[in-house]
Amino acid sequence: MSLNWDQQYQTEVTPWDKGAPAPPLLEWIESHPGQLQGRVFVPGCGLGHDVRAIASCPRVASVTGFDLSPRAIELARAFPAAGRETYETGDLFALGLPHLGAYDWVWEHTCFCAIDPARRAAYAEAMHSALVPGGFLLGVFYLDPYDDDHRPGGGPPHGSTTEGLLECFTASGQFSLMDNYLPSRAYPGREGLERVLLLVRN
Ligand SMILES: C[S@@+](CC[C@H](N)C(=O)[O-])C[C@H]1O[C@@H](n2cnc3c(N)ncnc32)[C@H](O)[C@@H]1O
């Protein structure tokens, strides 16, 4: 399935947008005070709820919310500023020079599951290129929803498994795994369907 993301935002058909930051992100911030710091990149930020939650962390110097959809970025910019956040329209598969090696952290949430699985290695490469060596990729990954309990239509465009995620990010040696757990907080309906990974860029 391939969505026209900008059209989805233009027509306000955005079921993934919950109007609030990802609960696993808030859980992680609360349980790791001060760890999120420096320059943070948020690919596929949508309306930027996570961007603003990160921008309000005291040690975060800047947050760049980045999305393919001009309409999503327009809507994100209309929210009151929470800190030093900026937004940019662009394609994560074609990051410009200013983004290369520019970030200490990447926060991933429902961008990975939105892209064609054939491009997952390219996603990992793009995040590797955006981070400084030793930088972190922290993400909440929406797993495969198409099981007996969660019928098609209610989940992400492209599910994944924990094993598949680890293979994608660590097999090539680009990242090493630091943490891997089931978050205890989730949006209603996503309970038990997500995995938090913390990876360090080699
Ligand atoms: C399922 S939505 C999630 C948005 C946001 N993370 C949220 O939870 O509300 C996926 C987002 O990824 C963006 N996206 C898809 N492909 C992209 C690409 N190649 N580069 C940048 N953003 C992309 C879409 O425009 C969309 O906003």
In angstroms, what is the span from residue 115 Cα to ligand 1's centroid? Answer: 8
Percent residues over pLDDT 70 in the chain: 94
Residue 154 within any structural domain of the chain: yes
Asked if 101 contacts 75 with a C-beta cutoff of 8 angstroms, the reply is: no
- Which tens digits make up the pLDDT trace of 5-64? 999 999 999 999 999 999 999 999 999 999 999 999 999 999 999 999 999 999 999 999
Q: Is residue 12, in this structure, part of any structural domain at all?
A: no
Above 80 in pLDDT, residue 151?
Answer: no
Which of the four pLDDT bands, split at 50, 70 and 90, describes residue 182? very high
CATH number at residue 136: 3.40.50.150
Identify the residues whose C-beta falls under 6 Å from ligand 1: 5, 16-17, 43-46, 66-69, 72, 91-93, 109-111, 114-115
pLDDT at residue 55, rounded to an integer: 98
pLDDT band at residue 98 using 50, 70 and 90 as cut-offs: very high
Q: If you average pLDDT over every residue of the chain, what do you get?
A: 94
Contact 5, 72 (CB under 8 A): yes
Q: What is the pLDDT of residue 173?
A: 96
Task: Report the C-alpha gap between 67 and 72 in whole angstroms.
Answer: 7
Instruction: Answer yes or no: is pLDDT of 148 > 70.
Output: no
Report, as an integer, the average pLDDT of 78-96: 98
Task: Report the share of the chain in percent with pLDDT over 90.
Answer: 87
The letter for the amino acid at 48 is G
What is the residue range of 185's domain? 22-201
Query: Given a cut of 60, is residue 153 above it in pLDDT?
Result: no
Within-domain flag for 11 = no
Kindly list the distances between the CA atom of residue 90 and the CA atoms of 71, 72, 112, 166, 174, in Å, as whole numbers in the listed order.
12, 11, 15, 26, 23
Closest C-alpha to ligand 1, atom 14: 44
Distant-in-sequence, close-in-space partners of 46: CB < 8 Å, separation ≥ 6: 9, 14, 16, 17, 67, 69, 72, 76, 110
pTM attached to this predicted model: 0.96
| Residues 6 or more apart whose Cβ sits within 8 Å of residue 94 | none
pLDDT number for residue 53: 98
Per the structure, how many domains does the chain have? Answer: 1
Cα 162 to Cα 132, 142, 168, 171, distances in angstroms = 25, 10, 10, 13
What are the structure tokens assigned to 200, written together?
Answer: 């360090």
Confidence of residue 3 (pLDDT cuts 50, 70, 90): confident
